[in-house]
Structure 1
Amino acid sequence: MRTLAIISLITLSLCGCKEGHYTIDVTRVIKNETSHNIVIGVFYRGEVREEITIGPFGIDSDQQICSGERGRLVNCDITLWRVSDSVRVTFDGNRFFTYCGTQETCLINSKNIMDLNVEGENASGYVETSRGIYEFPLTETDYESADPIDG
């Protein structure tokens, strides 16, 4: 009986379980619902940190196990723009728009690609299609509202 108690204590201590600590499997999907090639540039202080290219009607996805504590995320780098200040979406090299952070003024067509919230309501354009899978569609409406690059 004493051996069972010792094994239970060791298991609990190795678990590292903290009250309110949890993990969640998150997948971020960006869907190109247009007939245009899309390049997503991730910027920090004017420098490109990363670029994602998505062909017509294609997708880009990223998956990560995120951790949270007491109702908020403490470790989740699922969004490429976690350490960035803007994201530029370019269609066919001739139309673009820029998301500039998570401020309300940065919404384009009532969406913001930089504002994925895995712990609550997503009013930023992300749709949870199934448990832990969040999709962000880029549509013909987005293309039509994008600014021309040469004019």
Structure 2
Amino acid sequence: MTRLVILVGLQASGKTTFYTRHLAATHLHVSKDLWPRARHREARQRRAVAEGLAAGRSVAVDNTNASPEERAGLVALGRAAAVPVVGYWFPPDPAGSLRRNAARPGRARVPEVGLFATLKRLRPPTFDEGFDELHEVRFDGAGDFTTTPL
């Protein structure tokens, strides 16, 4: 079944690792990080999501997607394509994100001010936004993740 997955969490919260381990085999990966120098990254992301869904592919959007306003356009794309919209919420762990971010090489490292700016905007996704399913994702302490339906 085709679906749109929206990952929600701070930078360095494990979203991309979760995608790689649990969604990569079945979902097209869409992330603004894939186009670091592109102009109009938001429009490019919308196009990639819409094209993937139109082709019958499940899509996972791997950005911070911090606020309902930032997620609204993505939810609308899922609704327009008549596919389930699924959210994966990575509750904030600023100390863990800072630690993992510091271990990133070069340009992959996010300035700390950016992480704290995202933390100020970060809101958990809700069913009122139009999600069909919501899951909470946490590190399991053994190198992987646990997911719990919300």
Relative to the length of structure 1, the TM-score reads 0.23
Structure showing the higher helix proportion among its residues = 2
Structure showing the higher strand proportion among its residues = 1
Structure exhibiting the larger radius of gyration computed from Cα positions: 1
